[in-house]
Amino acid sequence: MFERAWSLYGMENLLADMIAEPTFVEALLEKICEFNLKLMDIMLEYPLDGVYFGDDWGQQSGLIMGPRLWRRFIKPQVKRMYEKAKSKGLMVIQHSCGDIHELFPDLVEIGLDCYQTFQPEIYDIEAVKREYGADLSFWGGISTQRLLPYASPDEVRRETARIMRIMGKGGGFIAAPTHAVPQDVPPENVDAMFDVFLNQEKYL
């Protein structure tokens, strides 16, 4: 929703018009949502387990547009898409880079099942697991920003195991890199991460 809108006429314009031209922004997002819902009609003809939505709302610290504007402009349209998926009995997965912790209660309320991508350099992972682990599953956790590019293989193993122990407690965690693995990540670090994934009885 948000990414499609700003890609059409600019990030600065969209954020400014949330204040200056709110009626226009509401109409634009509603049109984008209607297009998405038509795509979902086609997609939902196929046997699926869930629907994966992608929209980056966060920065490294906090939301791009803030919670008040997200709730006014974006939440109503996202809710419509979630409801269509839920009407078919499907799981709902949401990708958003950045820190969106302020939205977790809203996302749970409108039907989110799994949040991706879970970035450990942004979140207090123990606090998030404690507060939202009963309502949300988390996907990610292995940092492509700091851990995989810069750590040693042994550090990758230790940190991967630590995150999996915390986030996997009681279930509700898909251990994975937080994003596409950059090309500058040493191959031995990717191997170290998979070593933990494939040999959990040894590391966890």
Q: Where are the domains of the chain?
A: 1-99, 113-204
Q: Give residue 96's pLDDT band: very low, low, confident or very high (50, 70, 90).
A: very high
pLDDT (tens digit, 9 = 90+) per residue, 37-66? 999 999 999 999 999 999 999 999 999 999
Q: Give the per-residue pLDDT at 200.
A: 97
Q: Give the per-residue pLDDT at 24.
A: 98
* Ramachandran angles phi, psi of 124, nearest 5°: -80, 95
Q: Give residue 75's pLDDT band: very low, low, confident or very high (50, 70, 90).
A: very high
Give the whole-angstrom CA distance, residue 170 versus residue 138: 12
Read off the tokens for 162. Answer: 């630590």
Q: Give the per-residue pLDDT at 69.
A: 98
Give the whole-angstrom CA distance, residue 135 versus residue 137: 7
Mean pLDDT for 139-155 is 97
The mean pLDDT value of the chain amounts to 97
Nearest to 91 by CA among 48, 131, 58: 48
pLDDT (tens digit, 9 = 90+) per residue, 103-144? 999 999 999 999 999 999 999 999 999 999 999 999 999 999
Cis status of the peptide bond prior to 117, with omega within 30 of 0 = yes
Give the whole-angstrom CA distance, residue 21 versus residue 16: 8
Nearest to 104 by CA among 126, 148, 71: 71
